[in-house]
Structure formats: structure tokens, C-alpha cells
């Protein structure tokens, strides 16, 4: 997620995206059912969601809860244990209102509507304090997580590094000789983790010629032109990416970087990503449901954006990281790895390319495939386009999961308002708690 293009449009973007906001006569966005998407047997032609349109609005409103019905997928088994209970400590945050830096006062309820939320959940000290579903989503619905996937690919790689099986300072070619002549050959694994690889690649979602769309063909997004002779699987694709500039200089958000990490995990572990994720994390978590990954044309997981999970299982993932890797009675991710994930990022390489008032205000930085914010609680988050978050606030002991189907890949609503509102919620819960104890 988070290219620069749409973030730069600033307040104009806000008014365009959340139509009616400026006039005050707000109507919440239509649900997939209200839009008539996939209603009827068969649905009318213009209401069908299929492989040609599922990434675009309004079709993504249906698609992001129905990825299995659109693309090949691979199960991540939850194992056979009982789900970890999520104890209830219900509070109504609907009218909790946050003064934004933009000058607006925005209630949680209105923000969830404006940002096209499908599911939203807040854990405080591991208890479920607030949970809302929209747009037909239920506690059993799987939702596409897009780039929030990356954070867990990164975590898996850090687990292998912790075991001494991957040296983060080694160049990628040591693990993947196939990538010797690509941009990645002489990049260190750490540079790939931090997305500071010098690679010729554009991820401007609004540009139809951007490289991200060629990456898309590999995963069945859109239709490759008839004369397309390029790669249709991720391994062949990664080999084609060329170096540009120096590694380690500046943050450059490149989704295929994470597919390189996924490939290293597979190569070193001898397992596919679903097997590794299930064996090491998912089957120990007490997840309620199997997860699944979106696959390319050659049945390889999209390590950079293919994870699909339910809202509550997202909360369990976040809570496990918050608890330093210990959850459901076992140390799932080593404490050292979880502590590292929870560290603040370095704003210096991050801001070298991304000089944007909105970015600076939120204080975004990135390391090890996790986003960090320069707020007082040093929160970190997994973030995906169209409004996916697993937000972890270690100071307030809060985990917030948001699954959405925003029409825009990036939006003021999700990427700018979102971190401010989540921080305010976390802060408020922490303060109530300290008042109660004080």
C-alpha cells in the first residue's frame, strides 16, 4: 500500500472520496447488496463481479469478501484445537469523536462509514471492547488483507533469521541464485525487508501502465493484452526486475520485494508459504477459521498481498505480536522477533522519497515489513490498500483490526484519518483504565 499519488491529493481527495462530506447531508456508502452486485441467478451483466473487474470500485465492494470465488487459493489450516476465546468487555464507541489535524471532528461511526469499513474490532488488554460489521460481512467472513499480508511474510522471515537459517546481511543471491542478475541479487535480505532496494518499478495504482499491473497479470488481475508474452508466475516475474540506483538509500514501496522474502522462506524451509504459516503461526494461534492465500497462475502464494482472514483471527494475530509473540499458551513468534517488529522505524530513509505533509503529520515509517507511526505510543501496523489494518499499540495494550472495501487503493479516510482515530481510541481506553485504577 501507500504509494504517493493519491495521498498527495490532500483535502480535495477527502471531499471527492467521501462524497457529501463537505455538504453535511451524508449518506453512507452503498453495500454490495444495495448496489445489486451478484444479486440474481444470474446477476445482470453490469452487476457481475468477475476476473476482469474485481479490483475496481464498485465491484471490489463484493469481491474483497469473496476472493476464493474469483482466484485460485490455498488453505492455511487452523489445526484442530479450540479457538482462543475473545472475552467480551463491550463498550459503545460509535459516538466517540476525534478532533482531526484537518480541523474536522469525526465520530467513529461516521469514520467507519466514510472509509467503507466491512469489519472493525478493538481489543483492549486482550478483551473485545468494540466490534462492528457492515456490507454483509459476518464473524465468519474471510476478507482480503492486501499488503497487511507483508507484515506476516516479514515476520516469518525474521523467525528463520532468529533460528540462524537466514543471515539478514547476506545478499539475496545466496538464497535465490535465480535472482543473481536481477535487482535483488546484491541487495541484502535486510534491505528487502525494509524496502530500500534500488529497483526499477512503479506502484502508482492510478497509472494503468505502472509495473504493479504487470505484477497483477501474474495473479490474474485484469486481462493481459493478447500479445502479452511476459511472465505469468511470480518466480519468472521476479527474475525480470532490474536494478536502478543504490540499495539501502531510500524507502521505495515495491510489493514484489515481499514476494522475494516469501520465496526465501519457501526455499529455506522447504515448505510452501501456507504450510509454513500454518505450522509456525496459524495452527498455534487458536484461530477460529482456516486462512487462505491467493495464488498465482503457478499455484504460488502472493506473499506481498494474498492473505485472507476473518476479522477476529486478525485480532488474534495482532494480540500475539502485542504479547511479545506469546499467545494461546505458547511462544508462537520468538520474543526477540516480536520486540523487533514493535520497534519504531527510521524516518530518514523513509522520508528521502516520500516528502508529503500528510505522511509527515502521521509520521509514517517502515521496517521489517511493518509500518510504524510517530505517535506517542509508538504503534505499529500491518496495512493494506482499500483500508486493511492490524494496528498494534503496545503502550495502550490495544489491537485494532479494520477490513474495508474503499473504492480507492489509498484514501485520506483510511491512511490519514485512520491512524489518528485509532490512536485516539487507544489513548482513551488507556486513560479510562488508568482512571478506573487510580
**Interface positions with a copy of itself (CB under 8 A):** 38, 41-42, 48-51, 66, 68-75, 226, 232-233, 235, 263, 266-267, 270, 272, 295, 297-300
Minimum Å gap between C-beta 263 and a copy of itself is: 7
Minimum Å gap between C-beta 73 and a copy of itself is: 6
Q: Which residues, 6 or more positions from 141, have their beta carbon under 8 angstroms from its beta carbon?
A: 65, 118, 119, 133, 310, 311
SS3 label, residue 98? strand
Q: Which is nearer to a copy of itself, 208 or 270 (CB)?
A: 270
404 is a catalytic site residue? no
Minimum Å gap between C-beta 140 and a copy of itself is: 8
Minimum Å gap between C-beta 319 and a copy of itself is: 24
- Count of alpha carbons within 13 angstroms of residue 197, beta-carbon side: 32
SS3 label, residue 378? coil
Q: Which is nearer to a copy of itself, 276 or 354 (CB)?
A: 276
Measured CA to CA, the distance from residue 249 to residue 272 in angstroms comes to 32
Among 211, 209, 264, 278, CA closest to 235: 264
Q: Which is nearer to a copy of itself, 63 or 98 (CB)?
A: 63
Helices (H) and strands (E) in the chain — how many of each?
Answer: 14, 15
Minimum Å gap between C-beta 327 and a copy of itself is: 24
CB 121 within 8 A of CB 139: no
Q: Which is nearer to a copy of itself, 258 or 420 (CB)?
A: 258
Minimum Å gap between C-beta 409 and a copy of itself is: 22
Q: Angle 273-280/255-269 helices, nearest 10 degrees?
A: 70
Q: Which is nearer to a copy of itself, 194 or 290 (CB)?
A: 290
Measured CA to CA, the distance from residue 231 to residue 178 in angstroms comes to 15
Catalytic residue among 52, 115, 141, 147: 147
Measured CA to CA, the distance from residue 438 to residue 435 in angstroms comes to 5
Measured CA to CA, the distance from residue 118 to residue 121 in angstroms comes to 10
Q: Is 323 left (phi over 0), alpha (psi -120 to 50) or beta?
A: alpha
Grid coordinates given for 304: 506481498
Q: Which is nearer to a copy of itself, 235 or 340 (CB)?
A: 235
Catalogue the active-site residues. Answer: 147
Amino acid at each position: 500500500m501507500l504509494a504517493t499519488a493519491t495521498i498527495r491529493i490532500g483535502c480535495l481527495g477527502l471531499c471527492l472520496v467521501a462524497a457529501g462530506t463537505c455538504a453535511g447531508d451524508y449518506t453512507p456508502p452503498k453495500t454490495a447488496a444495495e448496489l445489486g452486485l451478484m444479486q440474481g441467478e444470474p446477476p445482470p451483466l453490469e452487476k457481475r463481479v468477475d476476473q476482469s473487474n474485481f479490483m475496481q470500485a464498485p465491484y471490489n465492494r463484493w469481491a474483497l469478501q469473496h476472493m476464493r470465488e474469483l482466484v485460485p487459493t490455498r488453505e492455511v489450516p487452523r489445526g484442530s484445537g479450540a479457538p482462543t476465546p475473545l472475552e467480551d468487555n463491550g463498550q459503545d464507541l460509535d459516538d466517540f469523536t476525534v478532533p482531526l489535524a484537518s480541523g474536522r471532528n469525526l465520530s467513529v461511526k461516521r469514520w467507519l462509514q466514510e472509509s467503507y469499513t466491512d469489519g472493525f474490532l478493538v481489543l483492549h488488554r486482550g478483551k473485545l471492547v468494540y466490534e462492528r460489521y457492515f456490507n454483509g460481512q459476518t464473524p465468519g467472513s474471510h476478507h482480503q488483507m492486501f499488503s497487511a499480508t507483508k507484515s506476516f511474510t516479514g515476520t516469518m522471515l525474521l523467525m528463520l533469521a532468529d533460528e540462524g537459517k537466514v543471515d539478514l546481511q547476506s545478499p539475496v543471491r545466496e538464497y535465490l541464485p535465480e535472482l543473481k542478475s536481477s535487482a535483488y541479487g546484491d541487495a541484502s535480505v535486510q534491505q528487502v525487508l525494509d524496502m530500500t532496494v534500488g529497483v526499477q518499478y512503479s506502484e502508482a495504482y492510478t497509472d494503468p501502465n505502472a509495473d504493479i499491473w504487470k505484477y497483477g497479470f501474474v495473479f490474474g488481475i485484469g486481462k493481459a493484452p493478447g500479445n502479452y508474452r511476459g511472465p505469468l508466475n511470480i518466480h519468472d516475474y521476479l527474475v525480470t526486475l532490474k536494478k536502478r540506483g543504490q540499495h539501502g538509500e531510500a524507502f521505495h514501496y515495491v510489493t514484489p520485494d515481499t514476494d522475494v522474502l516469501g520465496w526465501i522462506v519457501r526455499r529455506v524451509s522447504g515448505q510452501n508459504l501456507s504450510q509454513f504459516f500454518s505450522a509456525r503461526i496459524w495452527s498455534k494461534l487458536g484461530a477460529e477459521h482456516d486462512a487462505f492465500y491467493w495464488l498465482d497462475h503457478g499455484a504460488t502464494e502472493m506473499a506481498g498481498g494474498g492473505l485472507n482472514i476473518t476479522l477476529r483471527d486478525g485480532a488474534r494475530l495482532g494480540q500475539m505480536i502485542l504479547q511479545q509473540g506469546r499467545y494461546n499458551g505458547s511462544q508462537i513468534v520468538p520474543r526477540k522477533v516480536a520486540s523487533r517488529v514493535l520497534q519504531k522505524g527510521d524516518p530518514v530513509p523513509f522520508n528521502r522519497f516520500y516528502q508529503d505533509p500528510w505522511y509527515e503529520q502521521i509520521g509514517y515509517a517502515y521496517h521489517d515489513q511493518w509500518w510504524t507511526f510517530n505517535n506517542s505510543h509508538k504503534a505499529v501496523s500491518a496495512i493494506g490498500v482499500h483500508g486493511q489494518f492490524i494496528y498494534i499499540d503496545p503502550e495502550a495494550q490495544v489491537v485494532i483490526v479494520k477490513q474495508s472495501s474503499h473504492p480507492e487503493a489509498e484514501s485520506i479516510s483510511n491512511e490519514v484519518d485512520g491512524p489518528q482515530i485509532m490512536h485516539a481510541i487507544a489513548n482513551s481506553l488507556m486513560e479510562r483504565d488508568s482512571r478506573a485504577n487510580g
